[in-house]
Structure 1
Amino acid sequence: MVLGRGAWLIVGAVIAAFMLLVGPSAPLGAPSAGSRPVEAVRDVVPNRVMTWNICNPCEVSNVDRAADIAAYAPQVIGMQEACVRDVEMIRDYLENLHGLVYHVKYGTVLQSWGRCGGVPWNPGGFGQAILSAAPMTDRVSVEYPDGGSEDRGYMAVTTTVGGRSVRVFNTHLAHRRQEEFRASQVGVLAKQVARYDRAIVLGDFNAVPDAPELSKMWALATDIDPECRPARIGDCETTTDWHSKFDYVFLRGIAPLKHRVQASAYSDHHMLRADVDPR
């Protein structure tokens, strides 16, 4: 049957109306919001944790950030310089593209349009985030009394690592050359860490291992790298593009197994991952 011109106009109108109702398709290369893998591509490593300052503002793709994380599939990831919108997208890509399902909690300390976009009257939240394959409870988010040149803070949750309940902290301390602020911030953080017999402290401390302001952390916990100590700074692997160790996985009541520092093209900080034994 051959349709006349009037009939084709009616068909076109119906198709246009359908498209308006359904909405545009997802951009090329982006996963559909409703798509889910039939089964997980892989499982997380249950005793692996990771800390990563994901860099902000940086013109990088959250698809690429998610791929870097998925390559190591940690049970828990602590992110710093994290915008809520970026973390939401990273979590979605981890699930839709890699079959890795995470819960998320935020420890935002700024509402920053310049950092995180959005609209001026509803800017994006900026600060820390924790992703965990297991549910998280008892979240706290604390802004340090004085962040230095930019508001800073820490967050903490209780979750499962290696089959055990563990208190996990995630922090970002004051900028470099602001030692006095970092010393005060470490005092606040260490007081809370000391309450727990078993804890993991992730974060960007913006200080090298022998910096005096880290002394209270070293008194409570050890670094994932058993060779890294304040008195033996030469044995500590660097974690930044400027060849300094600023990023830590501090362990309290938990044994280190192995670790790796992995550079990323998508941040000026390297990913620091650690396998631990919480027993």
Structure 2
Amino acid sequence: METSDATCIHSEEAMVFGRDTRLFAGAVIVACMVLVGPSAPSGAPLARSLPVDAVRGVVPNRVMTWNICNPCEESNVDRAAEIATYAPQVIGLQEACVRDVERMRDYLEGFYGLVYHVEYGMVLRNWGRCGGAPWSPGAFGQAVLSAAPMTNPVNVEYPDGGSEDRGYMAVTTSVGGRFVRVFNTHLAERRQEAVRADQTDVLAADVARHDRAIVLGDFNAVPDAPELTGMWALAADTDPQCHPSSTGTCKPTTDWQSKFDYIFLRGIVPLEHRVLPTPYSDHHLLHTDLDPT
């Protein structure tokens, strides 16, 4: 490219000569633009069409959790289309970068007319995860998008994140016309059971302060894992058939057929839930419709 740039410069200098030279120089400049390319993207991304059975407008009593996979080479347009297909009132995202969430929110509004507020629960700045300049990497962690405004945001980093910083966030917002405390978390990676147990204790102590709470997240643990005992003591999974006993039947939420993703409900009754595999993450989408009364 250095040779092409140099040719462009010399050709522009040649334009001071006659008409034939100017025509030649102009042709070379056009060729250089093809070789070097524009300095900015040529256009905005195209919206992805939604399936015919996609909802039309936000479902006011629906909540969703989704680990969007990071680092993964997935398009934020595709992620936004997945969310727009089910249009929950509240979405908890894990493994999220601020820039990605900003783009998804813009696409949800610009392409599908879905307007969301956003709060972040970032726990680290990581260039490998989120890009940015090496001296100013992007922020990584959790995010909550809500169609209703959110108040009293809290962001807590666990005292021990394990192999990577982890934490939880909480907001108060409206679901089904009633205010509720919503938590979103991502526990330590697999094979770190003792770390997850300590993290669950921290999270459960905050959840216990609220009579009505929704806890979204990737817990990196199957239902009968001992480290989830504290959560099961406070809340039930949105799937009434899923519980930590041997008689429970829990739908897997990951590509490796494990249930790691939960919507725990405290003081709230579920109506219907769905686990939805997606090509854009190794975790499935999980959403539930709730009885607001």
Superposition TM-score, scaled by structure 2 size: 0.83
Rounded to whole Å, the distance in 2 between the matches of 1:234 and 1:162 is 28
Aligned pair count reads 251
Where do residues 244-259 of structure 1 align in structure 2 (5 Å cutoff)?
244-259=258-273
Match of 1:27 among 35, 43, 47: 43
Q: SS at 2:240's partner residue?
A: coil
Structure 1 gaps, min length 5? 6-22, 32-40
Change (3 A) 1:240 1:44: same
Is 1:117 matched with 2:136?
Answer: no
Q: Which moved more, 1:245-254 or 1:116-125?
A: 116-125
- 1:71 alignment counterpart: 85
- Render the CA deviation track for 1:195-220: whole Å, top value 9, x for unaligned: 00000000000000000000010000
Rounded to whole Å, the distance in 2 between the matches of 1:233 and 1:179 is 23
Would you say the 8 A contact 1:209–1:233 is kept in 2?
no
Q: What is the Cα deviation at residue 43 of structure 1?
A: 1.6
Would you say the 8 A contact 2:45–2:77 is kept in 1?
no
- Render the CA deviation track for 1:28-53: whole Å, top value 9, x for unaligned: 5357xxxxxxxxx9320000000000
- 1:151 alignment counterpart: 165
Match of 2:190 among 176, 182, 196: 176
Structure 2 gaps, min length 5? 1-18, 20-38, 48-54
Rounded to whole Å, the distance in 2 between the matches of 1:182 and 1:26 is 46
AA partner of residue 91 (structure 1): R
Rounded to whole Å, the distance in 2 between the matches of 1:209 and 1:139 is 28
- 1:260 alignment counterpart: 274
Q: SS at 2:233's partner residue?
A: helix
Where do residues 233-244 of structure 1 align in structure 2 (5 Å cutoff)?
235-244=249-258
**Percent of counterpart pairs with the same letter?**
73
Rounded to whole Å, the distance in 2 between the matches of 1:79 and 1:247 is 11
- 1:37 alignment counterpart: none
Where do residues 156-167 of structure 1 align in structure 2 (5 Å cutoff)?
156-167=170-181
Q: What is the Cα deviation at residue 238 of structure 1?
A: 0.1
- 2:148 alignment counterpart: 134
Change (3 A) 1:178 1:24: closer
- 1:14 alignment counterpart: none
Superposition RMSD in Å: 1.8
Q: SS at 2:245's partner residue?
A: helix
Would you say the 8 A contact 1:45–1:73 is kept in 2?
yes
Superposition TM-score, scaled by structure 1 size: 0.87
